[in-house]
Amino acid sequence: MEKKNEYIDRLLQKLQSLEARVSAIKREESVPFSFFREAFQKGQEVMSLLHELEMLQIEDMKHQMEKLVLFLSESESRTSVEETRKNTYAQGIALPAYTNPRNVETKKEEVVPEEVPGVLRSVNDVIQTPPPKLDVKRGLSLNDRFYFQRELFDNDREAMNSVMTSLNAFDNYEEMERYLREKTSWNFKDERVKSFLELLKKGFE
């Protein structure tokens, strides 16, 4: 702090001296050439003092950062020791994992009651939930969708989506193919049509 105040006092002296010299020539009719030499010299002295003051400030900041790093290192070391002591007492205790309630599926899991000897199971117990229907559109990759939309549906996305929605209503591949043969004017010997049908067929395998 003392050194900084010393630099600031010297800087003020130089600036005051330069200010006094500039004020003096204001009253004169002409500016002597010696004024410029003196002014440049005082300006350089001011710049030099400013530079030294800046370097002093940088050094001070470095010391402050070193102290801060040392303090944080010591704090981290103390925290690690305290956590180690706490963990010693907590060994063998299993804490429950946190589950975000928003990620839990709202669909309730099917609870299958245990069979009791001598008790007949109801029809609802015997009947199993049918598997979900095939989502044809989801079964196609993005590249496939763009390709077949261009080649088979004249690049009409709405027409393709309409056909895909209709195909989702069928439970097997044979019904899908029959529907396409009745509702479209495709050449089913065309390799593009065959490729499309092959992808539909794989969805049921």
DSSP, res 30: S
Q: Which of 64, 87, 110 is the last residue of a domain?
A: 87
Question: Looking at this protein, which amino acid is placed at residue 108?
Answer: K
Regarding whether 140 and 67 lie in a shared domain, the answer is no
Regarding whether 81 and 10 lie in a shared domain, the answer is yes
DSSP, res 154: T
List, for residues 71-125, the tens digit of each pLDDT value. 887 766 666 556 555 555 555 655 555 555 555 444 445 555 555 555 555 555 5
Regarding whether 81 and 14 lie in a shared domain, the answer is yes
Regarding whether 72 and 7 lie in a shared domain, the answer is yes
Question: pLDDT (tens digit, 0 to 9) for every residue of the chain, 205 residues total?
Answer: 788 898 899 989 989 988 888 888 887 878 888 878 888 888 888 898 888 889 888 888 888 888 888 888 776 666 655 655 555 555 565 555 555 555 544 444 555 555 555 555 555 554 554 444 556 667 788 899 899 999 999 999 999 999 989 998 888 999 999 999 999 999 999 999 999 999 888 877 7
User: Residue 99 falls within a domain, yes or no?
Assistant: no
User: Residue 162 falls within a domain, yes or no?
Assistant: yes
Regarding whether 76 and 10 lie in a shared domain, the answer is yes
Q: Which domain holds residue 37?
A: 2-87
Regarding whether 135 and 76 lie in a shared domain, the answer is no
- How far is Cα 81 from Cα 75, in angstroms, rounded to an integer? 10
